[in-house]
Amino acid sequence: MAEIIDMPKLSDTMSVGTLVKWNIKEGQKVAFGDILAEVETDKATMELSCTVPGTVLKIYAPAGSQLPVGDPICAIGKEGEAAPDPKGKPAAPKAAAAPAPIPETTGIPCVPAAPAAHAAPAPQSDASRTSASPYARRMAEKAALNVAALAGTGPGGRVVARDVAAAAAAPVSAAPAGPVNVAVAPPADGKGIQPDADLPVGGMRATIARRLLESKNTVPHFYLEVEVDAAPLMGLRETLNKRLAEQGGETALKLSVNDFILKASAEALRRVPAVNASWAGTSIRQHSAVHLSFGVALEDGLVTPVIRDAHAKSLRDIATDAKALIGKARSKKLSPAEMSGSTFTVTNLGMYGVTGFFGIINVPNAAILSVGATIKKPVIDANDRIVMGHRMVIGLSGDHRVVDGANGAQFLQALKQILEEPTLILI
């Protein structure tokens, strides 16, 4: 029996996905776990693995297509079987039965189209009388949408997942009418640094733009900065990496400066827990666990994987987790769960030579730490002598609804002490 595979919902906030690349062709046989395509979500580009074995009967959407969640992307069935019409009622629907369980795979599972309802629901409310797939109802509930108010495009006017996705993606605030005029005069000599072009905005970049605009427009940012003596940190890092290399050889763990920053941030949050919080509208939610997210730059945007329970992990554990998450991010294997639920964010541009900056808060975090490069500069030591020193500038952007200036200053003070006496993080 042929199955229509829909565009799956790969994150809680995803409403549209972009089919970046197909790894299959029509007529090709596929098995559980085979990678069908790469899909760009609102958070990352992810591999789409198959849970419906058979032959690819039809590919409904070409690479590059942007499709709402729930729209058909391909059909899989028996060899020689006719591909079902994605716009009409399936030719041979299955009898009402529970969907087959989806086995665990290394990628993100395809989500088969929701089975059609065969029995009218009990007349309890307008929403309950509305014909809608169970999946569409769950989507509507999460998006706080009234199913009864939606126009269905499924068979017989049935509300399906794509209808809910379209309603959830509908603009709710005023936006500029039409494209923004950014035309400029061409170069006088006819030779520019690159051709004029309008580049399409993918799902990840659109989400980054929306979330950062939301953060800057709705969160009252304030900024603090402190300079840290990084010489003890650099010395400890060199010593530890030397010992690790002697023990493990070429495969030994190598500690980065960012690993120390992450561990020190977790310890500073333990000392000043008021920063490990979120604005909840009518209350401030204080978090008992420290879930650290950190920025990883990719070609098509920025992702922020999360190290869970960083407050309870050693420097080695944090370094190991961070390297594993960076590897998964660069190979497009991060799951939505690995990019959500953070309580504090660290962003580091030191490797690019940036000496200081302030990041935009990663909502719903109450603060974000910005780390600059370690540079050599003349400094005055404890004996009032001018000596060569290693200095690092770290900045804090805080949500003033949650964190006051004094709280932010206390956090930076604690972080500075830990970084300047880095053996504290080994205890």
The DSSP 8-state label assigned to residue 132 in this structure reads B
Ramachandran angles phi, psi of 227, nearest 5°: -100, 135
276: left (phi over 0), alpha (psi -120 to 50) or beta: beta
Beta-bridge partner residues of 278: 285
The tokens for 342 are: 């953070």
The DSSP element (H or E) to which 164 belongs, if any, is: helix 161-169
d(CA 361, CA 396): 9
Q: Quick check: is 390 catalytic?
A: no
Cis? peptide before 72, omega within 30° of 0:
no
| Spatial CA neighbour of 53 closest among 139, 112, 9, 115 | 112
Using alpha carbons only, give the angle 98, 71, 138 rounded to the nearest 5 degrees: 50
Contact partners, residue 128, CB within 8 Å, separation at least 6: 121, 122
Tokens found for residue 380: 């005055």
Residue pair 73/6 in contact (Cβ under 8 Å)? The answer is: yes
Q: How far is CA 184 from CA 110, 188, 196, in A?
A: 44, 12, 10
Catalytic residue IDs? 400
